[in-house]
Amino acid sequence: MKHLTGGVCAPEGFTASGVHCGIRKNKLKKDLALIYSDVECATAAVYTLNKVKAAPVYVTMENLEFGISQAIICNSGNANACAPDGNENARRTCDVLADALHIHKRDVVVGSTGVIGERLNVEAIEKGIPALIKGLSKNGSGDAAEAIMTTDTTKKEIAVEIFIGKKRVKIGAIAKGSGMIHPNMGTMLSFVTTDCAITQEMLQKALSESARKSYNRVSIDGDTSTNDMCTVMASGLAGNDLIEWQDENYEAFFEGLHYVNTYLSRELARDGEGATKLLTCTVKRARAEESAERIAKSVISSSLVKAAMFGSDANWGRVLCAMGYSKAPFRPEYVDIDFSSAAGTIDVCKDGAGLLFDEALAKKILSEREVTIGIDLKEGDAEASAWGCDLTYDYVKINGDYRT
Protein backbone atom coordinates (compact mmCIF):
# COMPACT_ATOMS: atom_id res chain seq x y z
CA MET A 1 0.00 0.00 0.00
CA LYS A 2 1.76 3.12 -1.24
CA HIS A 3 0.52 6.59 -0.27
CA LEU A 4 0.27 9.16 -3.06
CA THR A 5 -0.45 12.85 -3.35
CA GLY A 6 -3.39 14.17 -5.32
CA GLY A 7 -6.43 12.98 -3.37
CA VAL A 8 -9.41 12.39 -5.67
CA CYS A 9 -7.32 13.53 -8.65
CA ALA A 10 -4.66 10.83 -8.21
CA PRO A 11 -6.56 8.15 -10.20
CA GLU A 12 -6.44 8.42 -13.99
CA GLY A 13 -9.18 10.51 -15.58
CA PHE A 14 -10.15 12.72 -12.64
CA THR A 15 -9.86 16.45 -11.98
CA ALA A 16 -11.38 18.61 -9.26
CA SER A 17 -11.87 22.19 -8.11
CA GLY A 18 -13.29 24.27 -5.30
CA VAL A 19 -14.46 27.91 -5.24
CA HIS A 20 -16.38 30.43 -3.17
CA CYS A 21 -19.68 31.05 -4.93
CA GLY A 22 -21.55 32.98 -2.26
CA ILE A 23 -23.49 30.44 -0.21
CA ARG A 24 -21.30 31.17 2.79
CA LYS A 25 -21.02 34.76 3.98
CA ASN A 26 -17.28 34.48 4.60
CA LYS A 27 -15.74 35.10 1.19
CA LEU A 28 -12.47 33.53 2.33
CA LYS A 29 -14.15 30.13 2.63
CA LYS A 30 -14.71 27.95 -0.41
CA ASP A 31 -18.27 26.60 -0.53
CA LEU A 32 -18.65 24.73 -3.83
CA ALA A 33 -16.71 21.64 -4.96
CA LEU A 34 -16.56 19.70 -8.20
CA ILE A 35 -15.07 16.30 -9.05
CA TYR A 36 -15.10 15.44 -12.75
CA SER A 37 -14.19 12.36 -14.78
CA ASP A 38 -13.18 12.38 -18.42
CA VAL A 39 -15.30 9.28 -18.94
CA GLU A 40 -18.51 7.83 -17.53
CA CYS A 41 -17.83 5.86 -14.35
CA ALA A 42 -19.32 2.83 -12.69
CA THR A 43 -20.60 4.35 -9.45
CA ALA A 44 -21.66 2.93 -6.10
CA ALA A 45 -23.17 4.75 -3.15
CA VAL A 46 -24.49 4.33 0.37
CA TYR A 47 -26.82 6.78 2.07
CA THR A 48 -28.09 7.86 5.45
CA LEU A 49 -30.72 5.67 7.12
CA ASN A 50 -32.23 8.72 8.79
CA LYS A 51 -35.92 8.83 7.81
CA VAL A 52 -35.46 12.56 7.24
CA LYS A 53 -33.26 12.79 4.17
CA ALA A 54 -31.95 15.89 2.44
CA ALA A 55 -33.04 16.67 -1.11
CA PRO A 56 -29.60 15.97 -2.65
CA VAL A 57 -29.70 12.45 -1.20
CA TYR A 58 -33.00 11.71 -2.93
CA VAL A 59 -31.86 13.29 -6.20
CA THR A 60 -28.58 11.36 -6.17
CA MET A 61 -30.49 8.14 -5.51
CA GLU A 62 -32.58 8.85 -8.60
CA ASN A 63 -29.59 9.79 -10.74
CA LEU A 64 -27.63 6.67 -9.77
CA GLU A 65 -30.47 4.30 -10.63
CA PHE A 66 -28.27 2.74 -13.34
CA GLY A 67 -25.01 3.06 -11.39
CA ILE A 68 -23.31 5.55 -13.70
CA SER A 69 -21.97 9.07 -13.10
CA GLN A 70 -19.40 11.48 -14.43
CA ALA A 71 -19.39 14.42 -12.00
CA ILE A 72 -19.94 15.24 -8.35
CA ILE A 73 -20.97 18.73 -7.21
CA CYS A 74 -21.27 19.56 -3.53
CA ASN A 75 -21.85 22.77 -1.59
CA SER A 76 -21.22 23.64 2.05
CA GLY A 77 -23.01 26.20 4.20
CA ASN A 78 -26.52 24.90 3.49
CA ALA A 79 -27.74 21.29 3.81
CA ASN A 80 -30.73 21.75 1.48
CA ALA A 81 -32.61 19.51 3.92
CA CYS A 82 -36.25 20.17 4.86
CA ALA A 83 -35.82 23.36 2.84
CA PRO A 84 -38.20 25.22 0.52
CA ASP A 85 -37.84 24.04 -3.10
CA GLY A 86 -35.24 21.46 -1.96
CA ASN A 87 -35.68 18.80 -4.65
CA GLU A 88 -36.17 21.42 -7.35
CA ASN A 89 -32.95 23.20 -6.40
CA ALA A 90 -30.94 19.97 -6.19
CA ARG A 91 -32.13 18.96 -9.66
CA ARG A 92 -31.53 22.49 -10.94
CA THR A 93 -27.93 22.25 -9.74
CA CYS A 94 -27.49 18.97 -11.63
CA ASP A 95 -29.08 20.34 -14.78
CA VAL A 96 -26.97 23.50 -14.92
CA LEU A 97 -23.74 21.61 -14.28
CA ALA A 98 -24.58 18.91 -16.82
CA ASP A 99 -25.34 21.49 -19.51
CA ALA A 100 -22.07 23.30 -18.82
CA LEU A 101 -20.02 20.06 -18.90
CA HIS A 102 -21.99 18.60 -21.86
CA ILE A 103 -22.82 15.43 -19.99
CA HIS A 104 -26.10 13.67 -19.20
CA LYS A 105 -28.11 15.24 -16.39
CA ARG A 106 -28.46 11.90 -14.62
CA ASP A 107 -24.68 11.51 -14.58
CA VAL A 108 -24.35 14.08 -11.76
CA VAL A 109 -24.04 13.25 -8.07
CA VAL A 110 -25.16 16.19 -5.93
CA GLY A 111 -24.39 16.75 -2.26
CA SER A 112 -24.94 19.48 0.31
CA THR A 113 -23.88 20.11 3.89
CA GLY A 114 -24.60 22.83 6.42
CA VAL A 115 -27.64 24.36 8.06
CA ILE A 116 -30.94 22.45 7.85
CA GLY A 117 -34.25 24.09 6.92
CA GLU A 118 -33.09 27.12 4.95
CA ARG A 119 -33.58 27.62 1.22
CA LEU A 120 -30.47 26.83 -0.81
CA ASN A 121 -29.08 29.80 -2.72
CA VAL A 122 -29.09 27.91 -5.99
CA GLU A 123 -28.61 31.15 -7.91
CA ALA A 124 -25.18 31.51 -6.31
CA ILE A 125 -24.33 27.97 -7.36
CA GLU A 126 -25.39 28.67 -10.93
CA LYS A 127 -23.19 31.77 -11.04
CA GLY A 128 -20.28 29.86 -9.54
CA ILE A 129 -20.36 26.88 -11.90
CA PRO A 130 -18.37 28.53 -14.76
CA ALA A 131 -15.49 29.34 -12.40
CA LEU A 132 -15.80 25.88 -10.87
CA ILE A 133 -15.39 24.22 -14.27
CA LYS A 134 -12.63 26.59 -15.34
CA GLY A 135 -10.72 25.70 -12.19
CA LEU A 136 -10.74 21.94 -12.82
CA SER A 137 -7.21 20.65 -12.32
CA LYS A 138 -5.20 17.55 -11.43
CA ASN A 139 -4.11 19.63 -8.44
CA GLY A 140 -7.68 20.52 -7.41
CA SER A 141 -8.40 17.88 -4.79
CA GLY A 142 -7.31 20.09 -1.88
CA ASP A 143 -9.61 22.90 -3.01
CA ALA A 144 -12.53 20.48 -3.32
CA ALA A 145 -11.80 19.04 0.13
CA GLU A 146 -11.77 22.55 1.59
CA ALA A 147 -15.02 23.52 -0.15
CA ILE A 148 -17.04 20.75 1.53
CA MET A 149 -15.86 21.58 5.07
CA THR A 150 -18.30 22.99 7.64
CA THR A 151 -17.10 22.91 11.25
CA ASP A 152 -14.16 20.72 10.22
CA THR A 153 -10.80 22.08 11.34
CA THR A 154 -8.73 20.05 8.87
CA LYS A 155 -9.11 18.81 5.30
CA LYS A 156 -9.59 15.05 5.00
CA GLU A 157 -7.89 13.66 1.93
CA ILE A 158 -5.98 10.52 0.92
CA ALA A 159 -4.71 8.67 -2.14
CA VAL A 160 -3.07 5.24 -2.41
CA GLU A 161 -1.68 2.93 -5.06
CA ILE A 162 -2.29 -0.81 -5.13
CA PHE A 163 -1.54 -3.56 -7.63
CA ILE A 164 -4.22 -5.63 -9.30
CA GLY A 165 -2.42 -8.26 -11.27
CA LYS A 166 0.50 -6.32 -12.71
CA LYS A 167 -1.44 -3.10 -13.16
CA ARG A 168 -1.11 -0.08 -10.89
CA VAL A 169 -4.50 1.00 -9.59
CA LYS A 170 -5.08 4.25 -7.70
CA ILE A 171 -7.75 5.13 -5.16
CA GLY A 172 -8.29 8.69 -3.92
CA ALA A 173 -10.81 10.29 -1.60
CA ILE A 174 -11.94 13.39 0.24
CA ALA A 175 -14.38 13.54 3.13
CA LYS A 176 -15.98 16.00 5.52
CA GLY A 177 -17.46 15.57 8.92
CA SER A 178 -16.98 16.92 12.40
CA GLY A 179 -20.41 16.87 14.06
CA MET A 180 -23.82 15.18 13.69
CA ILE A 181 -21.92 11.96 13.13
CA HIS A 182 -23.35 8.56 13.98
CA PRO A 183 -23.71 7.04 10.52
CA ASN A 184 -25.84 4.05 9.66
CA MET A 185 -24.82 3.69 6.05
CA GLY A 186 -21.56 5.21 4.89
CA THR A 187 -20.47 8.58 6.22
CA MET A 188 -21.20 12.25 6.51
CA LEU A 189 -19.89 13.11 3.05
CA SER A 190 -17.20 11.00 1.43
CA PHE A 191 -16.29 11.03 -2.24
CA VAL A 192 -13.97 8.29 -3.51
CA THR A 193 -12.45 7.93 -6.96
CA THR A 194 -10.55 5.07 -8.56
CA ASP A 195 -9.25 4.13 -11.98
CA CYS A 196 -9.90 0.45 -11.32
CA ALA A 197 -11.85 -1.46 -13.98
CA ILE A 198 -14.67 -3.04 -11.97
CA THR A 199 -18.35 -3.69 -12.55
CA GLN A 200 -20.91 -1.58 -10.75
CA GLU A 201 -22.19 -4.65 -8.92
CA MET A 202 -18.76 -5.53 -7.52
CA LEU A 203 -18.08 -1.87 -6.72
CA GLN A 204 -21.32 -1.65 -4.73
CA LYS A 205 -20.53 -4.88 -2.90
CA ALA A 206 -17.08 -3.60 -1.93
CA LEU A 207 -18.38 -0.22 -0.77
CA SER A 208 -21.26 -1.62 1.25
CA GLU A 209 -19.04 -4.11 3.04
CA SER A 210 -16.28 -1.57 3.68
CA ALA A 211 -18.69 1.10 4.91
CA ARG A 212 -20.13 -1.31 7.45
CA LYS A 213 -16.68 -1.89 8.93
CA SER A 214 -15.36 1.67 8.69
CA TYR A 215 -17.71 4.67 8.51
CA ASN A 216 -20.48 2.83 10.36
CA ARG A 217 -18.14 2.36 13.30
CA VAL A 218 -17.64 6.09 13.89
CA SER A 219 -19.63 8.17 16.36
CA ILE A 220 -18.99 11.76 17.38
CA ASP A 221 -22.24 12.71 19.07
CA GLY A 222 -24.84 10.01 18.40
CA ASP A 223 -26.65 12.06 15.74
CA THR A 224 -27.17 10.57 12.28
CA SER A 225 -27.14 13.34 9.68
CA THR A 226 -29.87 13.92 7.12
CA ASN A 227 -27.19 14.33 4.43
CA ASP A 228 -24.88 11.34 4.92
CA MET A 229 -23.58 9.96 1.65
CA CYS A 230 -20.58 8.06 0.37
CA THR A 231 -19.94 7.50 -3.33
CA VAL A 232 -17.23 5.71 -5.30
CA MET A 233 -16.59 6.49 -8.97
CA ALA A 234 -14.54 4.00 -11.02
CA SER A 235 -13.20 5.27 -14.36
CA GLY A 236 -11.68 1.92 -15.43
CA LEU A 237 -8.66 3.69 -16.95
CA ALA A 238 -6.02 1.72 -15.01
CA GLY A 239 -6.17 -1.03 -17.63
CA ASN A 240 -6.53 -3.96 -15.23
CA ASP A 241 -8.67 -6.94 -16.13
CA LEU A 242 -12.28 -6.08 -15.39
CA ILE A 243 -13.27 -7.25 -11.92
CA GLU A 244 -16.53 -9.14 -12.39
CA TRP A 245 -16.33 -11.71 -9.61
CA GLN A 246 -15.29 -11.93 -5.99
CA ASP A 247 -11.85 -13.29 -6.84
CA GLU A 248 -8.30 -12.38 -5.79
CA ASN A 249 -8.45 -9.16 -7.83
CA TYR A 250 -11.64 -8.15 -6.04
CA GLU A 251 -9.98 -8.87 -2.69
CA ALA A 252 -6.99 -6.70 -3.66
CA PHE A 253 -9.29 -3.85 -4.62
CA PHE A 254 -11.37 -4.25 -1.47
CA GLU A 255 -8.25 -4.09 0.68
CA GLY A 256 -7.26 -0.77 -0.91
CA LEU A 257 -10.74 0.71 -0.70
CA HIS A 258 -11.16 -0.38 2.91
CA TYR A 259 -7.79 1.09 3.83
CA VAL A 260 -8.90 4.45 2.41
CA ASN A 261 -12.27 4.34 4.15
CA THR A 262 -10.76 3.31 7.49
CA TYR A 263 -8.20 6.09 7.28
CA LEU A 264 -10.95 8.66 6.64
CA SER A 265 -13.11 7.22 9.43
CA ARG A 266 -10.30 7.77 11.93
CA GLU A 267 -9.71 11.30 10.63
CA LEU A 268 -13.40 12.12 10.98
CA ALA A 269 -13.35 10.92 14.59
CA ARG A 270 -10.11 12.76 15.30
CA ASP A 271 -11.66 16.02 14.08
CA GLY A 272 -14.90 15.69 16.04
CA GLU A 273 -16.37 19.04 17.08
CA GLY A 274 -14.39 20.39 20.01
CA ALA A 275 -12.42 17.14 20.30
CA THR A 276 -8.97 16.90 21.86
CA LYS A 277 -8.54 13.13 21.54
CA LEU A 278 -9.14 10.33 19.06
CA LEU A 279 -10.68 7.36 20.88
CA THR A 280 -10.49 3.79 19.64
CA CYS A 281 -12.39 0.98 21.34
CA THR A 282 -11.18 -2.48 20.36
CA VAL A 283 -13.16 -5.50 21.49
CA LYS A 284 -11.47 -8.88 21.09
CA ARG A 285 -12.35 -12.52 21.74
CA ALA A 286 -16.07 -11.92 21.24
CA ARG A 287 -18.57 -14.61 20.22
CA ALA A 288 -19.21 -12.87 16.89
CA GLU A 289 -18.00 -9.78 15.03
CA GLU A 290 -21.47 -8.25 15.29
CA SER A 291 -21.32 -8.49 19.09
CA ALA A 292 -17.84 -6.97 19.20
CA GLU A 293 -18.96 -4.12 16.92
CA ARG A 294 -22.08 -3.43 18.95
CA ILE A 295 -20.08 -3.22 22.19
CA ALA A 296 -17.31 -1.06 20.70
CA LYS A 297 -19.83 1.41 19.25
CA SER A 298 -21.74 1.57 22.51
CA VAL A 299 -18.58 2.45 24.43
CA ILE A 300 -17.33 5.18 22.10
CA SER A 301 -20.87 6.62 21.88
CA SER A 302 -21.28 6.93 25.65
CA SER A 303 -21.35 10.57 26.77
CA LEU A 304 -20.03 9.55 30.19
CA VAL A 305 -17.10 7.61 28.71
CA LYS A 306 -16.34 10.48 26.34
CA ALA A 307 -16.44 13.02 29.21
CA ALA A 308 -14.14 10.83 31.33
CA MET A 309 -11.66 10.64 28.44
CA PHE A 310 -11.72 14.44 28.18
CA GLY A 311 -10.78 14.64 31.84
CA SER A 312 -8.20 11.83 31.51
CA ASP A 313 -10.12 9.98 34.22
CA ALA A 314 -9.66 6.19 34.20
CA ASN A 315 -13.32 5.62 35.06
CA TRP A 316 -13.54 2.10 33.64
CA GLY A 317 -16.94 1.53 35.30
CA ARG A 318 -18.47 3.75 32.63
CA VAL A 319 -16.99 1.46 29.97
CA LEU A 320 -18.53 -1.63 31.56
CA CYS A 321 -21.84 0.20 31.94
CA ALA A 322 -21.90 1.12 28.23
CA MET A 323 -21.14 -2.48 27.35
CA GLY A 324 -24.07 -3.59 29.48
CA TYR A 325 -26.70 -1.61 27.57
CA SER A 326 -25.26 -2.42 24.13
CA LYS A 327 -27.66 -5.43 23.88
CA ALA A 328 -24.72 -7.59 22.80
CA PRO A 329 -24.28 -10.98 24.50
CA PHE A 330 -21.30 -11.28 26.86
CA ARG A 331 -20.51 -12.41 30.40
CA PRO A 332 -19.57 -9.46 32.63
CA GLU A 333 -17.62 -11.74 34.95
CA TYR A 334 -15.20 -12.57 32.08
CA VAL A 335 -14.43 -8.99 31.01
CA ASP A 336 -10.95 -7.45 31.13
CA ILE A 337 -10.44 -3.72 30.36
CA ASP A 338 -7.27 -1.72 29.74
CA PHE A 339 -6.37 1.79 28.57
CA SER A 340 -3.41 2.39 26.25
CA SER A 341 -1.70 5.17 24.33
CA ALA A 342 1.79 6.22 23.29
CA ALA A 343 2.50 6.63 27.02
CA GLY A 344 1.90 2.96 27.80
CA THR A 345 -0.82 0.47 28.81
CA ILE A 346 -2.60 0.01 32.12
CA ASP A 347 -4.98 -2.77 33.19
CA VAL A 348 -7.97 -1.43 35.12
CA CYS A 349 -10.47 -4.31 35.23
CA LYS A 350 -10.09 -8.10 35.32
CA ASP A 351 -12.90 -10.64 35.27
CA GLY A 352 -15.45 -7.88 35.69
CA ALA A 353 -13.88 -6.45 38.85
CA GLY A 354 -11.67 -3.45 39.48
CA LEU A 355 -7.90 -3.65 39.88
CA LEU A 356 -5.60 -1.51 41.97
CA PHE A 357 -3.68 0.65 39.52
CA ASP A 358 -1.39 3.67 39.44
CA GLU A 359 -3.72 6.68 39.03
CA ALA A 360 -0.83 8.93 37.99
CA LEU A 361 0.21 6.54 35.23
CA ALA A 362 -3.39 6.20 34.11
CA LYS A 363 -3.69 9.98 33.91
CA LYS A 364 -0.52 10.16 31.81
CA ILE A 365 -1.77 7.46 29.43
CA LEU A 366 -5.17 9.10 29.00
CA SER A 367 -3.65 12.55 28.43
CA GLU A 368 -2.31 11.55 25.00
CA ARG A 369 -3.95 12.67 21.74
CA GLU A 370 -4.85 9.06 20.81
CA VAL A 371 -6.27 6.65 23.39
CA THR A 372 -7.37 3.05 22.98
CA ILE A 373 -9.91 1.35 25.21
CA GLY A 374 -9.17 -2.37 25.11
CA ILE A 375 -11.86 -4.92 26.00
CA ASP A 376 -11.26 -8.67 26.21
CA LEU A 377 -14.44 -10.75 26.42
CA LYS A 378 -12.65 -14.14 26.52
CA GLU A 379 -15.56 -15.89 24.84
CA GLY A 380 -14.59 -16.39 21.18
CA ASP A 381 -12.26 -15.27 18.40
CA ALA A 382 -14.12 -12.33 16.82
CA GLU A 383 -12.85 -8.74 16.99
CA ALA A 384 -13.97 -5.23 16.01
CA SER A 385 -12.91 -1.62 16.55
CA ALA A 386 -14.91 1.61 16.60
CA TRP A 387 -13.75 5.21 16.66
CA GLY A 388 -14.92 8.35 18.43
CA CYS A 389 -13.64 11.36 20.35
CA ASP A 390 -13.85 12.95 23.76
CA LEU A 391 -16.73 15.22 24.80
CA THR A 392 -15.49 18.73 25.59
CA TYR A 393 -16.83 22.12 26.60
CA ASP A 394 -16.22 23.33 23.06
CA TYR A 395 -18.70 20.82 21.60
CA VAL A 396 -21.51 22.60 23.43
CA LYS A 397 -20.16 26.02 22.44
CA ILE A 398 -20.02 25.04 18.76
CA ASN A 399 -23.53 23.57 18.68
CA GLY A 400 -25.19 26.06 21.00
CA ASP A 401 -25.22 28.69 18.25
CA TYR A 402 -24.47 26.67 15.10
CA ARG A 403 -27.34 28.16 13.11
CA THR A 404 -27.11 31.76 14.34
Domain segments of the chain: what residues?
2-270, 278-400
Number of CB atoms found within 10 A of residue 189's CB: 27
pLDDT of residue 227: 86
Angle between helix 303-310 and helix 289-301 axes, rounded to 10 deg: 60
Residues of the chain with pLDDT under 50: none
pLDDT of residue 231: 97
pLDDT of residue 249: 98
pLDDT of residue 173: 98
| Superfamily per CATH, domain 2-270 | L-amino peptidase D-ALA esterase/amidase (3.60.70.12)
Quote the CA–CA distance of 376 and 390 in Å, as a whole number: 22
Q: What pTM value is reported for the model? A: 0.93
pLDDT of residue 169: 98
| Superfamily per CATH, domain 278-400 | ArgJ beta chain, C-terminal domain (3.10.20.340)
> What are the catalytic residues?
187
